[in-house]
Amino acid sequence: MSQPRRTMGELLQLAIEQPPGQREGWLRRTCGDPAVLPEALDLLRQYEADPAFLEHGLPESEPLIGQYRIVREAGRGGMGVVYEAIQHSGALDRRVALKVIRPVWAGAQILERFQREQQLLARLEHPGIARLYECGSAPDGSHFFAMEFVDGCPIDEWCDREALSTAQRVRLVLQVCDAVSYAHRQLIVHRDLKPSNVLVDSTGRARLLDFGVAKL
């Protein structure tokens, strides 16, 4: 049985994993599509000249994705970047967290995981879980979804900064347990519980984020 053809992003990711002196040869042997090879080689050479180029966010000349105006980069992980953005829709100006998958990485498996995260978030409505607002794609091939922006800090940093007592820390953890228990009742397992995925907002409420590797 023939192997499914890899996307540009998948080819490039696998090529980067090869030893530096063998990447181009590996790519030439593996690509299998003469129409794709020149662009793949060009991307590889750009990466080798500047490894950070694949991690760059939106260029400053393109501060918009659809109706969302980018304010700043708020975080990144895996193949995605999360931006703080403002949604402009009629009379609505809403602050959101905008998670974006760059086109170069938009392989079938990555998009499947990204879409699964959207579907799981759409099932969740709990005060301890950031809410999903909207999903979409941009003309440049980027895929995104917008969700509630949680302005806070990781739970461990919050506890230390506020010098919380043991009892206060336990109460915060119980808030997290309540959110996790709710997700479990929806048959969703988060699978990546850690301090950086639990932010405490200005009201002292613990909020669970990042269902990127969650499963039913």
Catalytic residue among 151, 192, 201, 210: 192
Active site residue 192: yes
Q: Is 161 exposed, middle or buried (0-12, 13-18, 19+ CB in 10 A)?
A: exposed
The DSSP symbol for 96 reads E
Cα(111)–Cα(3) distance, integer angstroms: 19
Taking alpha carbons only, the member of 52, 207, 39, 58 closest to residue 144 is: 58
Q: What sign does the CA torsion over 31, 37, 40, 41 have? A: positive
Active site residues: 192
